[in-house]
Structure 1
């Protein structure tokens, strides 16, 4: 098993772009899994002893999304929710400058921890901020749309 993990790690798509063959394979696999999930309401694979193992729909959707990124030629990195990010990594994920992110941290908009003199941002806190920001933007757009319709009627 360790040998397999070493081979997978050495040839990981987390470290390089996928080849044309891998892109094609990912596209076909994503389609096949999506069809199987639609037909059966889930996904089943064969376990060690050939016994069927049911994969939860949410996990199947995650696999399809991962394969979708690979089929688009993207390198993929999986990051556990408990991961602590540097301020630069967090800024990159939000597509903002590091000084702007630092301002958000100082205002208390995103939780962080201090490790020595450095700030670390929990991925979970960053994702919560992104979700809240997206929700606020959506609410603002709805309100603008409503106001625009009222203005048109007047």
Structure 2
């Protein structure tokens, strides 16, 4: 099974989308109620129930995931301390593997070698992506300002 096939197998079904949307609405509503941390009641197979209190960061994380699922998009969780292959890193950045290799060789992203294979720490990849996105945003803002100035002439 290829990485793309594994990802495609995780795309939400129509039932997943409806359930995620319903749970998203319930969780969002619970978070709005007086600023208290939401409680979720779980029942096991024997009918025993347990209350779980969601901290704000966990609740926000669940909401983000539920938004993705309810919109029909898949997602992939990457632990912050994970080491990724060059193909996984390229997929995350939405670039080709050869382009990623060029970035690595230009020292734009730190990496280590395991035998002859390169490994990229997820935290280094996230830092590069944040920097890249910030530079793109700055460039787009400059273009928008320039366009607005030309429109005034």
Give TM class, smaller chain: 0.7 to 0.9
The 5 A counterparts of 1:39-78 are 39-41=33-35, 42-45=37-40, 53-78=52-77
Question: What TM-score results when the alignment is normalised by the length of structure 2?
Answer: 0.78
Answering whether residue 33 of structure 2 is matched by residue 34 of structure 1, we say no
Superposed CA deviations along residues 31-50 of structure 1, whole A, max 9, x for unmatched, are 11011112232322359997
| RMSD of Structure 2 on Structure 1 (CA) | 2.6
Match of 1:112 in 2: 111
Q: How many residues align?
A: 142
For residues 15 and 150 of structure 2, the distance between their equivalents in structure 1, rounded to whole angstroms, comes to 55
Superposition TM-score, scaled by structure 1 size = 0.77
CA contact (8 A) 1:87 1:98 kept: yes
Q: Is the 8 A contact 1:44 1:54 kept in 2?
A: yes
Say if 1:145 and 1:83 are closer, same or farther in 2 by CA, change over 3 A.
same
Say if 1:74 and 1:153 are closer, same or farther in 2 by CA, change over 3 A. Answer: closer
Pairs within 5 Å for 1:94-133: 94-133=93-132
CA separation of 1:119/1:25 partners in 2, compared to 1, >3 Å: closer, same or farther?
Answer: same
Structure 1, unmatched stretches of 5+, are: 1-12
